[in-house]
Structure formats: structure tokens, C-alpha cells
Amino acid sequence: MPGLVFFSSASGNTLRFVTRLEETLADTAEGRCAKVLRIPISPQDPMPDPGGDYVLICPTFADGEGRGAVPKQVIRFLNDPDRRAGLKGVIAGGNRNFGTTYALAGRVISEKCNVPVLYSFELAGTETDIARVRRGLDLFWGMECSTMA
């Protein structure tokens, strides 16, 4: 069953984005396709098991040089070959104030895991971002979602 996996720091921007997105997914039959799992903030907490294909939603944490763009917990999550195998695309969050490092985590994950960057959004996203991601996920998962009972 395709789903979403996300990481959100204590700031909660990505959590707010995913919560709003999840509300739109739950309103339709396609919503049955979207299982939403959170990568924990604490390294002591167990990692979720997507159990299949998923899209990763990840904020960007980077210094002015772009170092540290992918949160350590996301790296830890993706270092597991079984979890990494289910990754089919990435959606990146960021802050446009940081120029070239805006949504850099998505580009890094895309290159390292050979998956597409599906979308990027700023901070907690806008209603337009939510609508675009919702439509994009419907198209991306396509036949997989339409065949679910």
C-alpha cells in the first residue's frame, strides 16, 4: 500500500504541512492509499516500517554552505536497505531565505537514492501547495490507488 513517511523537527512546520495534506487525502477513496508515518525526533524511538512503497516528506536543515541538509534521523531511516527500497519520491520543505540551500534535502535524497523530487514547499506550505501535492500524489500513485478496494 503506497504511503507517506515524513520527518518534522520540533518547529512543527512539516508536521503542519502533512496534517493538512492528510486531511485532504482522507476525504476521498484515494485517501485509503495513504498511510502516513512519522520518523521520530528522538534517536531512541523506533523507526516506522512503511512496509511498501512511499513518498518521503523532509525538511531541510543546512548551514550556509549546505552541510547537514538532510536531518540525521532521516539519514538513519534511509540507511536501512529495506526502508530505502520502498522510497519512490521525495517532497522537500525549506525556507527561501536560505537561497541555494532552499529545499536542498530533497535534492540530496533524490541524488543519493535515485528517486525524483516531486515538489518543494516553504515552511509549512500554503493551501496551493497542499492542493498541488494532493493532485501530484494522485497522479504519481495513479493505478496503484485506483485499484485499491
Order the strands of the 54-58 sheet from edge to edge: 35-39, 3-7, 54-58, 87-94, 117-122
- DSSP, collapsed to helix, strand or coil, labels residue 77 as helix
Question: Which tens digit of pLDDT belongs to each residue from 72-87?
Answer: 999 999 999 999 999 9
Query: Positive or negative, the Cα torsion across 5, 140, 32, 82?
Result: negative
pLDDT at 141: 82
The Cα diameter of the chain in Å comes to 48
Per-residue pLDDT band at 148 (split at 50, 70, 90): very low
Q: Where are the domains of the chain?
A: 3-146
Give 89-146 as a DSSP string. Answer: EEEEEE-GGGGGGTTHHHHHHHHHHT--EEEEEETT--HHHHHHHHHHHHHHHHHHHH
The secondary structure of 16-50, three-state, reads HHHHHHHHHHHCCHHHHHCEEEEECCCCCCCCCCC
pLDDT at 130: 94
pTM, two decimals, is 0.87
pLDDT at 147: 35
Per-residue pLDDT band at 26 (split at 50, 70, 90): low
pLDDT at 100: 85
Question: Which tens digit of pLDDT belongs to each residue from 38-82?
Answer: 999 998 999 999 999 999 999 998 777 777 899 999 999 999 999
Question: Which tens digit of pLDDT belongs to each residue from 95-147?
Answer: 888 888 889 999 999 999 999 999 999 999 999 999 999 999 988 888 444 43
- What is the radius of gyration, based on Cα positions, of the chain? 14
CATH of domain 3-146: 3.40.50.360
With b for 16 or more beta-carbon neighbours within 10 A and e for fewer, the 85-114 pattern comes to: ebbbbbbbbbeeebeebbbbbbbbbbeeee
The average pLDDT across 35-40 equals 94
